[in-house]
Amino acid sequence: MSPQSLLTHLECSQCGKKFAHSELQTFCAACNQPLVACYDLDQAGHLLTREMWRQRPAGMWRYRELLPLQREENIVTLGEVMTPLLSLRSIAGQAGLQNVWVKDEAPLPTGSFKARGMAMAVSRARELGVRSVAVPTAGNAGGALAAYSARAGLPCFVFMPKDVPRSNLLETQLAGADVTLVDGIISDCGKQLAAGKAQHGWFDMSTLKEPYRLEGKKTMGLELAEQLDWDLPDVILYPTGGGTGLIGMWKAFAELKQMNWLTGALPRMIAVQSSGCDPITRAFDNGAPDSQFFENANTVAAGLRVPKAFGDKLILKALQESGGLAISVSDDEIMAAVAELAEAEGLVVCPEGAATWAALKHLAERNQVDKQDRVVLFNTGSGLKYPEVMQQVAGIDRPHGSH
């Protein structure tokens, strides 16, 4: 990889203790908090130009100096693309909003943004000598890890809820992963993985319990900055379960700012949750630094059914630092938003992505987003991966179109 990654070390997000990047790391055991990758950003600012990145092939690997992989031959790829930024001309105008886009992650391998994180984490795991990997998942992360592990030749063990979307189960099994179906939700899956990983020697790829999925998700922010010519939007709405994408983008913006590459202010980051599982919204509304475990979590948006995010402190910190907020919407609103985006804009989005449109309408009504604000919503995956949800949406009575 020429020039090389500018990774210098890993650092605890809580206490600041430094860890060597040349060794396999997980999280800070003393603080029980995630590690974050640190780069020589002064050198990056002198060595790199924006045009240098622009001239490289599109996709996440073009940002290699601000990514952790040390050698190009260790890249595990399924052809990660730069995802499109699509204007919502029709329905945004109807809501009185002038500048709304969707960053659509559906074209990525395995049909969701999880491909970014798992491409990076599996590449780095292989580089550091990992021999088998495991993950608890609400759905898409399991499919992505299974696919990239198959590509890398690594045995993969996935723990999923029994009621996981069927497409997620099938793609994970097809890619050859050893799948355990758990009676419960992602937190219960995590407990089963933890109970077996020492005995079986699995490397735990759980959200933020290793430091490199975050670096893959960070590329959403790098791409967005490049697509908007380094002038970031005023507001970003992000569907938040584990929250790695939101944390990763905020990290990307901080790094670009230190390199003096951004021309305007940083965006307000808005975490969007389902009212059936909204520990981050509750914590934010209470002014708390971390969240409480959400009991009896239940939502049609499988990726938002995370009752306690390991990185909750980092999510809430990003919301506070950016002047943002957290908001919850109901499952009925999510389903209606899926239908509205498909019929008005031709976008078949996942329930998690639809939640951001439902949330934006509330924020506009409350004047918490200005009509002229430049707003980016994140659709984190293809709605086609949720056939059961799409079948329900197709049966919703609505004034236009067929059903």
**Residue listed under structure tokens 């987003």:** 369
- Asked whether the CA dihedral 272, 273, 275, 279 is positive or negative, the reply is negative
Taking the C-alpha atoms of residue 209 and residue 118, their distance in angstroms, rounded to an integer, is 13
Q: What are phi and psi of 140, to 5 degrees?
A: -65, -35
- Look at domain 85-110+212-394 and name its CATH class: alpha beta
Mean pLDDT of 186-201: 93
pLDDT in tens, 230-247: 999 999 999 999 999 999
The radius of gyration computed from the CA coordinates of the chain, to the nearest angstrom, equals 20
Residues 6+ apart with CB under 8 A from 322: 250, 266, 267, 268, 269
pLDDT band at 362 (very low <50, low <70, confident <90, very high): very high
Mean pLDDT of the chain: 95
Sequence ranges of the domains in the chain = 85-110+212-394
Q: What is the largest CA-CA distance in the chain?
A: 59
Residue 378 has pLDDT above 50, yes or no: yes
pLDDT in tens, 144-159: 999 999 999 999 999 9
pLDDT band at 401 (very low <50, low <70, confident <90, very high): very low
Taking the C-alpha atoms of residue 305 and residue 284, their distance in angstroms, rounded to an integer, is 18
Where b means 16+ CB within 10 Å and e means fewer, 144-168 reads: bbbbbbbbbebbbbbbbbebbbebb
Interhelix angle 140-152/166-174, rounded to 10 degrees, is 10
Taking the C-alpha atoms of residue 12 and residue 365, their distance in angstroms, rounded to an integer, is 40
